[in-house]
Amino acid sequence: MPVAHCPLHGLEADDLSCSIREHITHSLGKHCREAGNRDVAMALSLTLRDRLVDRMLATRDRYRESRAKRMYYLSIEYLLGRCLGNNIYNMNIQGEMGGLLAEWGFNLEEIREFERDPALGNGGLGRLAACFLDSLATLDMPGCGYGIHYEYGLFKQTFENDRQVERPDYWMAEGMPLQIERRDQSVIVPVYGRVENHQAPDGSYLPLWVDWQDLVGVPYDIPIVGYGGHTVNYLRLFAAKSTDNFDMQIFDQGDYIKAIHQKVYSELVSKILYPSESISFGKELRLVQEYFLVFCSIRDITRRFLKQNRNIEELPEYIAIQLNDTHPALTVAELMRLLVDERRVPWDRAWNITTRTLAFTNHTLMPEALEKWPVELMEKVLPRHLQIIYEINRRFLDSIRLSGTVDAGTIQRLSLIEENGGKQVRMAHLAVVGSHSVNGVSKLHSELVKKVLFPEYATLWPGKFNNKTNGITPRRWLYKANPGLAGLITESIGESWITDLDELQKLAPLAEDAAFRAKFAAVKRAAKAHLADFVAKTTGVVVSPDAVFDMQAKRIHEYKRQLLNVMHIIHDYLRITEDGYIPPTPRVYFFAGKAAPGYFEAKEIIHLILRLARVINGDKRVSEYLKVIFTADYRVSLAEKLIPAADVSEQISTAGTEASGTGNMKFSVNGALTIGTLDGANIEIREAVGEENFYLFGLTTPEVERQLAEGSYDPWEHYRKHPEIRRVLDAISAGRFSPEEPAAFHWIFEKLLARNERYFHLADFMAYIEAHERIGMDYSRPDVWMRKAVLNTARMGYFSSDRTIREYAKDIWGIKPIPPRGM
């Protein structure tokens, strides 16, 4: 690889070649002939960064010149995935880059493997945020993200003795060449202290927050490039650092630990995603972490706003802020504090500004996920914010009482403060009261938000509540993740689907074309063969790409019902080994997902899956028909291997528990058929792809709600009635899959048969195995199966995050595209 000196900004192969060689020499300090895969990966990232920064600055200037209203997305998580490949594909230079590297003896796919997934998120919440950022940039929308620059992710998952083990996930070990440090825009963050009550010269109340400690929030920008490379927005992440203040007197007296305590504590704030709340310090750190995100974001947003606008009361005309779930709900109190205390805006006008600026997305129906903070803790950490929350609550409840139409019970349910069992601040309530829009993320979920979570608020403000069904970016999840299928689609209908997913409907007539179905099947088999190679290398288990690849890849939780899937696998295993049953098609069951470190049941479900895999994969009687694979450390880059290869997508949560789900969309657009309940976005997917192309089973939400309300669900009735259920549960209880620990999984037997079992595993089991029987029969007829698979891909246009973002922009944010001139 010869040395070269050249301009850095072009996208032609020669320009890219020059830049990569320049960075190897002058950024990495090596001769080009010495460069290995890791060096090339770093130089390639820096080369792209040069071009992205140019376009990011041009995008910023474009927004400023147009005085565009901007949207800022506040999220505790962003699950970006590897950025190098995504940037290459969105800039549409994968051909140039692949060819260039091949000339030098390198492989682009191998180079990309040297990048680690940024560990800035855990699940669907963070991945949705990343999809939204991609769509905003692709649509030329002035919108950016704010988050936390975690040093460690949730954890790196490994398996030892068939159990999940959590390892530190130091994702920055190799650095992240894409990010840009903005230390000159650091923010001083006050925390702790106390409030002194004073009087202003005009006689008004003047609170002074004093004796606070300070943290420093240092921003890092990650450029977010839209498809085509015309617009580059950014994700701004704040890392917590200590101030330069250092108490030398304490240090000189020999109390070194106390002297450095503040520095150590300060930097803990952004050390790890989701510190454990099982101890009081972890709970306190989590509250400080959420406040840190909010304070840094609001300070930065208003700083930018005031550079172009002198009147803070014009904020809602130029700024929209979206709260991604309850984690940033303190934004309501912080924005009020800034307006009332610092800008001296009268309360009523400040409240008007706040509510017109903020909007809130709810993402869960699980009561335990609706955050509440003890008043005592908030008073310690954020004394002024607690005062503001109490004042918001007082004024709000007084206005309700004046209407004379609500009783004491309703007032109690509307209050921002929960009084039972120790006073707590209800963060979801704060977000609802302080926002002009509250949305759910699927049609069913949005109805349940009004009916179950916030019925009193929905009655009070029916116009505030709306639905915005989630979507996924087709650039990451089809164009990049599945180049074989993407190429076939482009060959058949052109490439406009990349930015207009509704174009996929042009594939529907091709479902009747035998030649196209054969090509579609070949692409799917190639993806399965690729995954089979990966599985063999990483687990040592050999699987056939001619088997049904059945996948459940998501966070491990009881409501997502991995246990139901396990029960069906055990059912088939026992039929083959004890009844001589021969399945119509062989199956490989894939699991992927992490269990929260403190969630006993979820971790034991993983334990059971791994024990089951060990038994089944080692049993020669079933080796032709059945395999079980648990791929460790589920993340975006692993999902990109799994999803294109899936034949069957398991979306089997109990009806009424999943807000939306986006994994269901990723699998379906890649030609997998869904087996699922009428839950979350499954309902809308089934309507879109056609009932005949979706394997439905299970109770409906009203049926679940009725049985829960009446207490009429009796698991023992199903156990006694169905020998299939008895055989599976008895095998688990008797230690069939844990002979060295016979009682290891008896708790599952007891839990599933308890009258208070919330997730209706046994009630849905017989319908679930019947749906799987239909899958087996249909898959054994390739023309039938491939017709269904093609129609799944063809009819998924609605589920693009581009559509979702357009709806947010029009209905909630009031922002418009600002494309480059001439476009």
pLDDT at 2 over 60: no
pLDDT at 255 over 60: no
Residue 7 pLDDT: 47
Retrieve residue 358's tokens.
């903020």
Helix, strand, or coil (residue 166):
strand
More confident residue, 15 or 799: 799
pLDDT at 252 over 60: no
Among 363, 426, 736, 751, which one carries the catalytic annotation? 363
Can you tell me the distance from the alpha carbon of 47 to that of 52, in angstroms, rounded to the nearest whole number? 9
Identify whether the C-beta of residue 219 lies closer than 8 Å to the C-beta of residue 296. yes
Residue 5 pLDDT: 47
pLDDT at 28 over 50: yes
Helix, strand, or coil (residue 445):
helix
User: Is 55 considered catalytic here?
Assistant: no
Nearest CA-CA partner of 685 in 649, 709, 714: 649
Which residues have C-beta within 8 Å of that of residue 520, sequence separation ≥ 6? 485, 488, 671, 786, 789, 790
Nearest CA-CA partner of 307 in 499, 64, 529, 517: 64
Retrieve residue 37's tokens.
């895969």
Can you tell me the distance from the alpha carbon of 594 to that of 157, in angstroms, rounded to the nearest whole number? 7
Percent of the chain at pLDDT > 90 equals: 85
Strands (E), 243-387: 319-324, 358-361, 372-374
Among 662, 674, 677, 793, which one carries the catalytic annotation? 662
Among 230, 286, 560, 603, which one carries the catalytic annotation? 560
User: Is 363 considered catalytic here?
Assistant: yes
Task: Of 89-93, 517-521, 628-632, give the lowest mean pLDDT range.
Answer: 89-93
Which residues have C-beta within 8 Å of that of residue 384, sequence separation ≥ 6? 195, 207, 209, 337, 341
Identify whether the C-beta of residue 804 lies closer than 8 Å to the C-beta of residue 470. yes
The pLDDT of 793-798, averaged and rounded, is: 98
Place of tokens 């008004």: 204
pLDDT at 101 over 70: yes
Retrieve residue 284's tokens.
């306190």
pLDDT at 375 over 70: yes
Residue 8 pLDDT: 43
Can you tell me the distance from the alpha carbon of 505 to that of 722, in angstroms, rounded to the nearest whole number? 43
pLDDT at 71 over 50: yes
Among 69, 70, 384, 554, which one carries the catalytic annotation? 554
pLDDT at 305 over 90: yes
Nearest CA-CA partner of 204 in 338, 392, 347, 396: 347
pTM of the model: 0.95
Task: Of 334-343, 416-425, 557-566, give the lowest mean pLDDT range.
Answer: 416-425
Identify whether the C-beta of residue 681 lies closer than 8 Å to the C-beta of residue 664. yes
Compute CA 90 distance to the chain's CA centroid, rounded to the nearest angstrom. 20
Place of tokens 């004394």: 383
pLDDT at 248 over 60: no
The pLDDT of 56-66, averaged and rounded, is: 95
pLDDT at 271 over 80: yes
The pLDDT of 678-698, averaged and rounded, is: 97
Q: Give residue-wise pLDDT tens across range 143-184.
A: 999 999 999 988 999 999 999 999 999 998 888 999 999 999
Identify whether the C-beta of residue 320 lies closer than 8 Å to the C-beta of residue 359. yes
Can you tell me the distance from the alpha carbon of 464 to that of 336, in angstroms, rounded to the nearest whole number? 20
Retrieve residue 131's tokens.
């999809």
Can you tell me the distance from the alpha carbon of 11 to that of 94, in angstroms, rounded to the nearest whole number? 11
Retrieve residue 397's tokens.
């409840």
Residue 186 pLDDT: 97
Residue 260 pLDDT: 62
Percent of the chain at pLDDT > 70 equals: 96
User: Is 530 considered catalytic here?
Assistant: no
Task: Of 263-277, 444-458, 544-558, give the lowest mean pLDDT range.
Answer: 263-277
Q: What is the mean pLDDT of the chain?
A: 93
Q: Which long-range contacts (CB under 8 A, 24 or more apart) does 594-601 make?
A: 594/122, 594/154, 594/155, 594/157, 594/164, 594/555, 594/556, 594/633, 594/634, 595/164, 595/555, 595/556, 595/557, 597/155, 597/166, 597/276, 598/276, 598/278, 599/556, 599/557, 601/558, 601/751
Strands (E), 280-423: 319-324, 358-361, 372-374, 417-418
The pLDDT of 712-721, averaged and rounded, is: 97
- Measured CA distances, 268 to 150, 193, 272, 798 (Å): 10, 19, 8, 42
Can you tell me the distance from the alpha carbon of 654 to that of 390, in angstroms, rounded to the nearest whole number? 37
The pLDDT of 207-212, averaged and rounded, is: 93
The pLDDT of 528-533, averaged and rounded, is: 98
Q: Give residue-wise pLDDT tens across range 438-490.
A: 999 999 999 999 999 999 999 999 999 999 999 999 999 999 999 999 999 99
User: Is 666 considered catalytic here?
Assistant: yes
Q: Give residue-wise pLDDT tens across range 609-625.
A: 999 999 999 999 999 99
Among 666, 718, 761, 795, which one carries the catalytic annotation? 666
Residue 266 pLDDT: 79
Nearest CA-CA partner of 497 in 477, 520, 526: 477
Q: Give residue-wise pLDDT tens across range 306-349.
A: 998 889 999 999 999 999 999 999 999 999 999 999 999 999 99
Can you tell me the distance from the alpha carbon of 333 to that of 344, in angstroms, rounded to the nearest whole number? 15
